[in-house]
């Protein structure tokens, strides 16, 4: 029996998307989910008894209180099933193991990025986190970037580990839009609006391209506001420099609308960078963009740089080197070498291999 500790089971976040894709590879008849919000579409037994991970970090005593709810169910399951395995798909939930670790034959921990890095370094959490990690049987890293960051703080010599890059469930584009849309290069950036995503630096690049190089370029930023002061700095800069007709920020965009935006964009990029404890674990938005035929430019401070192993045509850049990025964008603007069909084919190859790798892993527990 596989027990999954998850947060929200929807595709509106990285945690949710990766959890849904992961769980889908396990037999539903031998799976049970503990989560914070029930998903009616999933044909798997679910217990919506957990709180949002942030609530536990603000008040760790809640781990102790809610563990009684979990233990009550685990006692019933243990009488019915010989072996129980736990899959911790949301990093903060690892602290439940203080109270429930003896129920499980195998303990699998999914390291996605920021929280693993935070727990490794935080004075408040690091000793307890390292103790629990030493009791984990398998660590799954979402990218080699996250694994390398993890190894800087925690020894992996005695712990089995594997890198499973994400895959996504999406309909690839059959529409190949005109690359010379009004003779403009259409750039897209998607992700929560906060400093780690580097949007303000990207806006400065757009200003430079327009003012200095007279480039016909549009930028669309799609994301929910996580950092309001940062968002206000962005919008003030856009207004002061009269960039409103060149730069659009879209909030609360539906999945369907986002797909249309991808299809009407030429170039996708994020200036992701390490910021305090925050890391870009992978960024499935790169896969979403590639699936719709966009060219992608990946930050070297992102786990998505693992995509480079599939194709050398994918550009990697230092997110702090704005001059190099400007030159790269100018190259796309002048050449218009955007091969949507080739990009979709590359996506299909990447997505298939990543999905098969997860499927092979899951068979060990089915």
pLDDT digit string, tens, across residues 129-164: 999 999 999 999 999 999 999 999 999 988 999 999
What CA–CA distance (Å, rounded) separates 316 from 296?
Answer: 9
What CA–CA distance (Å, rounded) separates 33 from 28?
Answer: 10
CB neighbourhood size of 143 (10 A)? 26
Could you say which of 3.30.420.130, 3.40.50.2000, 3.40.50.720, 3.50.50.60 is the CATH number of the domain covering 181-350?
Answer: 3.40.50.2000
Q: Mean pLDDT of all residues in the chain?
A: 92
Q: Are 7 and 91 in contact (CB under 8 A)?
A: no
DSSP 28: G
Fold of 2-164: Rossmann fold (3.40.50)
**pLDDT digits 0-9 by tens, 59-71:** 999 999 999 999 9
pLDDT for position 47 = 95
Same fold, 2-164 and 181-350: yes
Secondary element (H or E) of residue 250 = strand 247-250
Q: Where are the domains of the chain?
A: 2-164, 181-350
What CA–CA distance (Å, rounded) separates 231 from 235?
Answer: 6
**pLDDT digits 0-9 by tens, 215-245:** 999 999 999 999 999 999 999 999 999 999 9
**Residue 350 binned pLDDT confidence (cut-offs 50, 70, 90):** very high
pLDDT for position 261 = 95
**pLDDT digits 0-9 by tens, 98-117:** 999 999 999 999 999 899 99
Helix (H, G, I), strand (E, B) or coil at 270: coil
């Amino acid at each position: 029996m596989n027990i999954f500790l998850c947060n929200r089971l929807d595709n509106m976040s990285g945690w949710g998307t990766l959890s849904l894709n992961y769980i889908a590879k396990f037999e539903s008849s031998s799976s049970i989910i503990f989560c914070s919000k029930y998903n009616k579409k999933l044909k798997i037994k679910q217990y919506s008894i957990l709180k949002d991970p942030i609530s536990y970090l603000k008040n760790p005593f809640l781990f102790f209180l809610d563990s009684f709810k979990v233990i009550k169910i685990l006692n019933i399951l243990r009488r019915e099933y010989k072996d129980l395995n736990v899959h911790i798909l949301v990093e903060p939930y690892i602290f439940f193991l203080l109270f429930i670790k003896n129920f499980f034959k195998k303990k699998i921990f999914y390291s996605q990025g920021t929280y693993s890095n935070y727990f490794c370094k935080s004075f408040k959490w690091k000793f307890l986190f390292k103790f629990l990690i030493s009791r984990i049987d398998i660590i799954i890293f979402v990218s080699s970037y996250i694994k390398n960051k993890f190894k800087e703080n925690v020894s992996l010599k005695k712990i089995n580990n594997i890198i499973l890059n994400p895959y996504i469930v999406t309909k690839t584009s059959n529409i190949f839009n005109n690359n010379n849309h009004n003779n403009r290069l259409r750039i897209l950036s998607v992700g929560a609006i906060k400093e780690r995503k580097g949007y303000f630096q990207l806006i400065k690049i757009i200003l430079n391209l327009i003012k200095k190089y007279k480039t016909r370029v549009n930028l669309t930023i799609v994301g929910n506001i996580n950092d309001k002061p940062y968002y206000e700095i962005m919008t003030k800069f856009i207004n002061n420099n009269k960039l409103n007709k060149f730069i659009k920020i879209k909030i609360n965009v539906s999945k369907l609308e986002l797909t249309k935006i991808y299809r009407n964009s030429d170039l996708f990029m994020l200036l992701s960078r390490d910021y305090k404890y925050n890391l870009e674990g992978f960024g499935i938005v790169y896969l979403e963009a590639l699936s719709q035929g966009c060219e992608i430019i990946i930050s070297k401070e992102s786990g998505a740089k693992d995509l480079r192993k599939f194709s050398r045509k994918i550009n990697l850049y230092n997110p702090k080197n704005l001059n190099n990025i400007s030159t790269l964008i100018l190259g796309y603007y002048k050449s218009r070498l955007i091969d949507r069909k080739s990009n979709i084919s590359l996506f299909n190859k990447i997505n298939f291999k990543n999905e098969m790798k997860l499927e092979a892993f899951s068979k060990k527990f089915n």
